[in-house]
Structures are given as C-alpha cells and as structure tokens.
Chain A
Amino acid sequence: MGAQVHGTQQFDKTRRTEIKFGPLAMETVKTIISHYPEAKIKSALLPVLHIAQAEFGGWLSPEVMDYVASVLKIKPIEVFEVASFYSMYNLKPVGKCVLEVCQTSSCWLNGAEDIVKYIEKKLNIKVGETTKDGMFTLKVAECLGSCGTAPMLQCGASYHENLTYEKVDSLLEKYKSEGKQKNYTDLDYHNTL
C-alpha cells in the first residue's frame, strides 16, 4: 500500500492492506506513468483504473479507488469523479463475463433488440442483472464502432460481431466452460495477428 494521503483511511486499514497490485500489474502501472511528464502522472488515471478493475474482481470498490489514488498520489475524489463519469468502469460488483450488446442505430437496424431479448431469455435475467451463479452480467451499450458488422456484443477485450442466435449460444457455452473473468485488458485477443 502506498503512502496515506488523507486521514479518513485509518478506519479500514486492515481491509485496505489486501488491496495491492500484483507484480505484473504494478510494472504495467509504472510503465504507463512513465509516459507522462513527472508532475502530470494523474494522466495515467484512466488506464490505471482499467488495470485495477481487472485486478480486483471486475469492479471498482471505494477501497480500490482509494488505493489507486494513493498509487497516483492524487485525492480519492479525483478518482471517484472520473470512475463515475466513464461507462467502462463498474462501480458495483458484476459477473465474470459482462456482455455488452450495442443497441445504437446500425446495430438496431440489424436486430440488436432481438439479440438482447434472446440473451435475457436464455440466461433468465434482465438487462443490468447478473446470473445467480455470478457468471454473466447483461448490459446494453451505445455505439461500439462495429456498425458494418452489426449486430455485435463486447465481452472484455473481445468484439463478437455479425451475431446470430447460434453464435450467441456457442459464445455463452464457451465462456461458461472456461469460467474465467473477462477484462478489457485481457491479452489473449488478436495475439495471433
């Protein structure tokens, strides 16, 4: 844990000590910080929040946000105001796989609504909910830049495009059998290029 930057952190000290980047994440954070002038490391906040979200269970708890503040030597409120502004940061716990179905124009023209209904029925959850086993959270998203390959959904770093019901079936099957948390920062996508 980094140096304490404000007094209110005392009360939950024991819990906070568990929140610490692993060596790989810490190394990545340091690399990101090195991209900016020394006095401007706050600039690293957005990418570091992505790493924190991947590292600490797919969402940003107040404790995790405080930790990020201490790493970047900024005030906790500066972290919270950013985390609450951008749509990719989850401020509540989510399932291991967050399915984000694009619903804007071109995706809608190509049946995004039916894809959402299909997933709702299949997983027995509504948009915004998480399955009982904690495996899937279903969300809708605004334009993800996949209009030519609509309809699509994003899960972690992966874009799944030209969706059909069958594609959705096999995708959910695959994720379920893997049972892994999917993050935006995952390395396995497009590594074969």
Chain B
Amino acid sequence: MGRKLLIHNDKVPGIHSLEVYRAHGGYASVEKALKTMTPDQVTDEVKKSGLRGRGGAGFPTGLKWSFLAKPEGVPRYLVCNADESEPGTFKDRYLMEIIPHALIEGMITSSYALGAKTSYIYIRGEYFYVARIVEKAIAEAYEAGWLGKNILGTDFSHDCYVQVGGGAYICGEETALLESLEGKRGNPRIKPPFPAVAGLWGCPTVVNNVETIAAVCPIVNMGGEEYAKIGIGKSTGTKLISASGHINKPGVYEIELGVPVEEFIYSEEYCGGIRNGKKMKAVVAGGSSVPILPTELILKTAKGEPRLMTYESLGDGGFQTGTMLGSGGFIVMDEDTSIVKNLFTFTRFYHHESCGQCSPCREGTGWMEKILKKFLNGTANESDVELLWDIQSKIEGKTICPLGEAAAWPVAAAIRHFKQEFLDIAKSKKFVDVSHYDKLYKVRA
C-alpha cells in the first residue's frame, strides 16, 4: 500500500465539511506556516520538496514561485487552475468535490508564501456543481476565521473567490485562463512577459493546478525534505492518477511516484486489469496530448527496463519510444480498440478547442480531423498517412501556446506506433469498428 497525502481521507463520511476536515488534521499547514514560519521559509520548503506542477507541464513549483515579481505597492495574486479539461483527466474534480477544504487550505498557505492578499479559483464552467461545493467550503472557512482579516490573529489577511468559466479547453493554458478571468475570450498571451511579472490585470501572478496547491499542505506539515523522500529521483511525492478506459476499476488513484506501470494497470489496488479478460493494446498515460504507446512500450522501455510511473521513466526514450506523465490522465485501451478512431476523437476535440489565434493550429487541426474522417468513411488513400504526418509536423512549435503541440503529438505517436492500422484501412477502403459496448445493456446500481 503506497502512502497517500492528498486523498487519504476521501472515504471519511462528511470530509467535505470543515468540522470533519479539521478533526482529521485539516488546516494544520495554515497554523504552522502563519505562526511559526516566514513566507520565504514556506517557499523554501516547497523548493526542497521537489514538487512539480501537477497540471501537466511538470515545472518545479518552488522555482515558479521564486520568479514572482514583488514590486512595492502592487498587488500579487494566486490563481488556481481548476479548468481541468484534458481528456482523460478528472482528478481535480474528485479532489474538489470530495475534500474541497484541502484546496482552500493550500490556497491560504500558498498565498501566505507568495504575499497574495487575494486569490481566485478558476473552475471550468461544466463543473458548476463543483464550484458550488467549493464556494460552500469557502463560506465555512470565512466563518471559522481561516479566511478574511487577520487570520489566526496574525497580520495576514486573505480573500479567496471562485470564478466559473464558460466551457473552453484552452483556458487551462495559464495565460488564456487569466484572459478568461478578466472577462475576455480565452486567447493565450504571447510570453514573455510571464504571469509572474505581468499576470492578472497586469499584476504579478502565480497560476498553479488544484493538485499542486493541495500538495503544499502536506509539504508544509511534514517538511520539504521528508516529502522529497517519497518517489524516485526528480519525481518526488505522490500524484493523483485518473484511470479510465477498458479497465476493471476506473477511478482516481493516489500513487507514490515510482509505482511500476504494470502494477498500476494490473494490481487490484489500482486499475484491476483489463475488462472482460481482454488483452491490452495501448495506453495514453498522461492525458490526450501525450503520445500513445503500445503495450510493449508502456510496460517496458526500449532498453527493456520496467516502465515506472515517474516523469523520467515515462519520458525515457523521448517521443520515439516514450511518452509523458502529463496530467496523469491514464486511458487504457483493449485489443479491440481502433487507434485510428480514438485518434479521431482526440483530433476532433483539438479542432473544437483551438482558439483560432494561430493559423497552423486553427487550420491544421481541422484539416487533420477531415483526413481522419476519410479513414473512418473508408475513403482515405495510403498517401493520406504521409499527409497527416506532414500536417502535424507543421503545427508543432509554430503556435503561441502548447495547444499546437497537444494536437500534433497524438497524431504523430499514433502513426509512429500504429502505422499499419492506417495503411490497412486505406488499402481495404473499409473501416470496421469492432469495439464492444456491453456495459450499456447492463443495469447498474
């Protein structure tokens, strides 16, 4: 059984309430930080912990915090990125829905470290009911004095608000999120300047993912060095993984970074193996944007070493034979899955979600969707595989924000590892979908 630091209490009845959360040690990090530590000491602990951004990019959090400009007389902001919309990812929703105070506690402790008097939690619009849960928790925190003026009798005051989005994947990109928070279209900004210098309303701002902010609490409580002992190498601590697809036990799992991929998929503690006794065909390990890998490469690296759930091990071999931990959106596909059709759903997604600012992404995603549709209609030619490859290679690195890469990588990886599937459809001029949806006919509790 691995250690859990974020959702260890998720089965405790009433853990969404302040009373129960507090009875289980909640808000200890706020007490410790405000009463016994300086803001810089909190930042130091986060640096020592080796915590990396849990939204997908994996950038060291302590380092990001240290970039925050601190000019006199200018407000600084902490913004929580709760726009979770990477296909395959639903961990932040789980955390906010079940233990909303874990996020609020993290917001207060982190804001203290950053010197932010105001913070915003930007939640995707579709999660309206989650926003309501978080708002209720915020109201409880105000009433109990964890938010508001002079928290715990110190001179630190803090206000925290929830903002809902309007339904746009792109707002998970931090500068698009800030635009959206300012009441505008979610068009990513050109960087630099980075949000740490000019973010929300032009003020220095830190944008962190829900899970990253929640992880600050155990880090402050146990100390950064202790936290860094969990995990392997530069992949420290625990990570929430959203497991879905053709597995026996889909859901959110907290793992110690370093669990072997094979154990994660097949052990009863986690995914519980492939449904209906089928064999596994492929895995998208870190949300739709990261390269898909066939079974042999997700279980073992090209060197034959067991693949581990860490940033480094999943990345081993680069994009030729490796992938990324990303957001931890872990989608497992069984032997009957059509990689081409799954790719089509991804590409349709990126086409739908492109903000339209940059031509390569706006036009390229639509073009790729059209070509993939030809494969599903049985009208594609063999040369269309080359065309797809060509288009994706001309999106990557040519856009303001990483949505371009996110749209290109899955296409490149699908062709790299499953080219024969594309060619077979093109040759036979026929697409046969053998996927089984047996689940739909069963009555579920």
Contact = CB atoms under 8 A, between A and B. Distances in A.
Interface string A90-119: 000000000000011110111100110000
B352 A115 contact: no
A193 B201 CA distance: 36
Contacts of A154: 126
A159 B129 contact: yes
**Chain B interface residue bracket vs A:** 35 or more
A110 to B, nearest CB: 6
B253 to A, nearest CB: 10
Nearest to A83: B166
Contact of B163 (A47, A105, A146): A47
A37 interface: yes
B129 A157 contact: yes
A19 interface: no
A163 B348 CA distance: 22
A150 B244 contact: yes
B345 A105 contact: yes
Interface in A135-193: 141-151, 154, 157-159, 162-167, 184-185, 187, 189-190, 193
A82 B129 contact: no
Contacts of B146: none
Contacts of A148: 90, 242-244, 250-252
Interface in B388-445: 435, 437, 439-444
Contact of B439 (A111, A145, A157): A111
Given A105-B345, A148-B244, A86 B90 contact: no
Given A35-B163, A106-B87, A157 B128 contact: yes
A87 B166 contact: yes
Given A142-B352, A143-B87, A145-B85, A105 B166 contact: no
B125 A145 contact: no
Contact of A46 (B163, B169, B439, B441): B163
Contacts of B167: 86-89
B194 interface: no
Nearest to A109: B245
A42 interface: yes
B87 to A, nearest CB: 4
Interface in B111-155: 120, 124-129, 132-133
Given A46-B180, A147-B244, 15 more contacts: A42-B183, A46-B183, A82-B184, A85-B166, A88-B166, A103-B348, A105-B87, A105-B284, A109-B245, A145-B85, A145-B89, A147-B88, A148-B242, A151-B440, A163-B440
27 contacts: A35-B161, A42-B182, A43-B181, A44-B183, A45-B184, A46-B125, A46-B165, A50-B128, A82-B183, A85-B168, A86-B165, A88-B125, A105-B245, A108-B341, A114-B437, A143-B87, A147-B88, A147-B89, A147-B242, A148-B242, A148-B251, A149-B250, A157-B132, A164-B441, A190-B133, A193-B16, A193-B133
Interface of A: 35, 37, 40, 42-47, 49-50, 72, 74, 78, 81-82, 85-89, 103-106, 108-111, 114-115, 141-151, 154, 157-159, 162-167, 184-185, 187, 189-190, 193
